[in-house]
């Protein structure tokens, strides 16, 4: 009898979910009955019969299910291509998922930043994330469903340039609660090393709505700096990794619509982050974006997003994204493979 049956829990049919073994829902639901992927075996059915009926045959060809990828399932893409991993971080409701849906909407309409849509292993995940902001959802206001996952999941895009070059992007999708915990506990920062160390670009979103609030702005400003510092101290985020800090929801902060005090505060925030970035990173920029401006805003849909997206696609990966190297001594009569390793690490032999 499985652990799920022993606890009287429903079974999960979502690929990659470990609910049946450890009781942790991939979608973040606290109760089994709240998740649409949970199914209750018919009375009299055994765990083995349910499992066997759904087990793939040896001669089946496994295709992507269209939803977000787990860290393990991205291996097929990273082995086959020089995929670029973009870590999108920030507090809850900062606009992380809205940024990704904005990019998908643009690339779905045609050429965007010199790129066009070629393929996606997660097209259904993109569509699900975009749906609440569309007219067909019949929502009073465009919304984006908040990410509840406490483990990293990835959106995938394969892009084709005007010259025909293919580029794969893996974009992280994880709850802002995870990053809040990183600030509060160093061990939580270390646990994120599996994918942040692989990042080709680290993107930190600051919630413009919080920055516009006199009560919340200091907390929103400081916690972003604390997150960067925690990841550096845990040796999870490399100083060689390009870092982009985005003041999101800038439509709430445009000078002609806001008071002078808020305008000066945003300038102060930008100056402080630039100072921090210059001291700790080799490639650091601060910019302003508005992925989905409110209806009466003077800003266009996706304000500031296109140049950011272009950087993700065209930027060359640093030769080394890890700057905390052990002090390795050379061995006599070393092989050519060892010499090659030293050259790749950029270390000169004495």
Per residue in 202-239, pLDDT (tens digit) is 999 999 999 999 999 999 999 999 999 999 999 999 99
The C-alpha atoms of residue 213 and residue 250 are separated, in whole angstroms, by: 13
Q: From 232, 90, 292, select the one nearest 175 (Cα to Cα).
A: 90
Q: Within this chain, do residues 34 and 179 fall inside the same structural domain, yes or no?
A: no
User: Side-chain half-sphere of 273: how many Cα atoms within 13 Å?
Assistant: 29
**Between these two residues, 334 and 216, which has the higher pLDDT value?**
216
- Compute the residue count for the chain: 350
Return the higher-pLDDT residue of 324 and 258: 258
268 and 122 assigned to the same domain: yes
Give the percent of the chain with pLDDT over 90: 54
Q: How confident is the model at residue 265, as a pLDDT?
A: 95
- Residue 143, in any domain of the structure: yes
- State whether 128 and 193 are in the same domain: yes
* pLDDT confidence of residue 345: 56
| Residue 23 and residue 98 in one domain | no
Mean pLDDT of the chain: 81
Q: Which of 169-173, 282-286, 312-316 has the lowest mean pLDDT?
A: 312-316
Q: Is the pTM of this model over 0.85?
A: no
Q: Compare 146 and 191 and report the one with higher pLDDT.
A: 191
In a domain, 323, yes or no: no
Identify whether 339 is part of a domain: no
281 within domain boundaries: yes
The larger pLDDT score, comparing residue 118 to residue 56, is at 118
- Residue 337 is assigned to a structural domain of this protein: no
Q: 147-156, 197-206, 214-223: which range is least confident on average?
A: 147-156
Number of domains in the chain: 2
Establish if 270 belongs to a structural domain: yes
37/148 same-domain check: no
Same domain, 106 and 244: yes
**Same domain membership, residue 211 and residue 238:** yes
Distances (CA, A) of 270 to 59, 123, 225, 286, 322: 56, 35, 11, 7, 26
pLDDT of residue 23 exceeding 90, the answer is: no
Domain membership of residue 341 (yes or no) is no
Are residue 7 and residue 32 in the same domain, yes or no? yes
Residue 266 lies in a domain: yes
Name the least confident of 172-181, 243-252, 296-305: 172-181
Distance CA 283, CA 261 (A): 30
Same domain as 75, residue 19: no
**Are 125 and 170 in the same domain?**
yes
Question: Which ranges of the chain does DSSP label H, i.e. alpha helix?
Answer: 3-6, 19-22, 47-54, 75-80, 96-109, 123-130, 176-184, 186-190, 193-196, 208-212, 217-233, 260-280, 305-314, 336-345
Burial class (CB in 10 A: 0-12, 13-18, 19+), 170: buried
Q: What is the pLDDT of residue 271?
A: 97
Note whether 158 and 13 are same-domain residues. no
What range does the domain containing 41 cover?
A: 3-54
Same domain, 47 and 151: no
């Amino acid at each position: 009898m499985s652990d799920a049956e022993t606890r009287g829990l429903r079974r999960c049919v979502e690929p990659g979910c470990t609910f049946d073994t450890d009781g942790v829902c991939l979608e973040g639901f606290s109760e089994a009955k709240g998740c649409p992927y949970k199914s209750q075996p018919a009375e009299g059915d055994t765990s083995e019969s349910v499992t066997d009926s759904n087990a793939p045959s040896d001669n089946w060809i496994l295709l992507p299910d269209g939803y977000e990828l787990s860290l393990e399932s991205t291996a097929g893409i990273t082995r086959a291509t020089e995929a670029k991993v973009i870590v999108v971080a920030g507090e809850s409701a900062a606009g992380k998922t809205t940024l990704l849906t904005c990019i998908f909407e643009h690339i779905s309409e045609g050429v965007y930043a010199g790129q066009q849509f070629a393929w996606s292993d997660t097209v259904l995940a993109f569509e699900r994330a975009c749906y609440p902001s569309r007219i067909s959802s019949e929502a009073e206001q465009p919304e984006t469903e908040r990410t509840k996952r406490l483990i990293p999941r990835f959106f995938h895009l394969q892009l084709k340039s005007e010259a025909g070059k293919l580029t794969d992007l893996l974009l992280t999708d994880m709850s802002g609660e995870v990053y809040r915990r990183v600030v509060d506990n160093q061990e939580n920062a270390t646990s994120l090393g599996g994918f942040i160390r692989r990042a080709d670009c680290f993107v930190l979103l600051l919630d413009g709505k919080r920055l516009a609030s006199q009560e919340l702005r200091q907390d929103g400003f400081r916690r972003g700096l604390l997150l960067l510092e925690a990841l550096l101290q845990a040796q999870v985020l490399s100083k060689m990794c390009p870092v982009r800090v985005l003041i999101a929801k800038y439509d709430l902060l445009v000078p002609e619509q806001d008071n002078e005090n808020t305008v000066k505060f945003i300038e102060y925030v930008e100056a402080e982050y630039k100072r921090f970035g210059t001291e700790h990173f080799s490639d650091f920029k601060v910019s302003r974006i508005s992925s989905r401006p409110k209806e009466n805003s003077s800003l266009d849909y996706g304000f500031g997003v296109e140049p950011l997206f272009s950087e993700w696609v065209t930027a060359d990966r640093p030769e080394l994204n890890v700057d905390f190297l052990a002090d390795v001594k050379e061995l006599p009569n070393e092989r050519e493979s060892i010499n090659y390793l030293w050259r790749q690490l950029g270390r000169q032999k004495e």
